[in-house]
Structure 1
Amino acid sequence: MTYAIVHRPSVSLDALSLDAFAAAGGVHPQLVTRLVALGLLEPVAGLRGEPAFPGSQLARLARIRRLRAALPLNYAAVGVVLDLLARIDELEAELRRRSWT
């Protein structure tokens, strides 16, 4: 007997809905929608096709909020800072790898 295997990698079972994500992050859902439109947050498809947010995006949202609170940056500049911080993390990881060899 043959069984079909359904693989839907774009659908997340452990992601939060827009409202639940906004509540967990302490922001209004409209701000989350705006951050998605600006490319600062990346939702995945939920069970019914609506946007859903993995828990890892909560840390990113917190970092966005900290940057906005600490520095006089608009959201476009926050995106640049996030990209630079990610690049620094990559370079530091590479440096650690090379120092162990």
Structure 2
Amino acid sequence: MNDRPAKAAGAGRADVGARPVPRSTGVPASAAVRYALVPVPVPRLSLHAVARRSGLHPDLVSRFVALGLVDAERDGAGRLSFGPTAPAVLARIQRLRSGLCLNYASIGLVLDLLDRISLLEAALRGRVTRSETPPWT
């Protein structure tokens, strides 16, 4: 039998990329800022992975890339690779197509307008709320 107490799940394992902050600096560990020395690569998805996650045929996903509805990059072998948000964008395209009966050319315009609206709403949320005094005009 082992006389040592059992460790909690995950105890004793160091977080990947995490380093302890030296205590000799006088800065509390909670206030210390950590900077990544090497940028963490964004995971890329293959054409078949995106098609499987979105429930679409790979040829249709390729057609959306050709129409400019979905962003993709080509690797050295010429295969398409997508960002992690591509399945959500494809789902949005499908909802617009089925819900509003739009063709694919107009879906590109609607997607651009929806992105613009979300940027404007974010800018409005970032502004200072109304003050108690009325405006001078």
CA-CA distance at 1:18 after TM superposition: 0.8
Which residue number corresponds to residue 101 of structure 2?
72
Structure showing greater relative contact order (alpha-carbon pairs closer than 8 Å, 6 or more residues apart): 1
* CA gap 1:69/1:94 in 2 versus in 1, 3 angstroms: same
User: Structure 1: which 5+ runs fail to align?
Assistant: 1-11
* Larger of the two Rg values belongs to structure: 2
Q: TM-score, normalised by structure 2?
A: 0.60
Query: What is the aligned length?
Result: 90
Give the 4+ runs in structure 1 shifted more than 6 A. none
Which residue number corresponds to residue 36 of structure 1?
65
CA-CA distance at 1:55 after TM superposition: 1.3
Q: TM-score, normalised by structure 1?
A: 0.80
RMSD: 1.9
Residues in 1 aligned to 2:71 and 2:111: alpha-carbon distance in whole angstroms: 13
Q: Deviations over 1:36-85 (max 9, x none)?
A: 00000111234644211111111111100110110110001100110010
Which residue number corresponds to residue 94 of structure 1?
123
Greater helix proportion:
1
Is it true that 1:54 corresponds to 2:83 in the alignment? yes
User: Structure 2: which 5+ runs fail to align?
Assistant: 1-40, 131-137
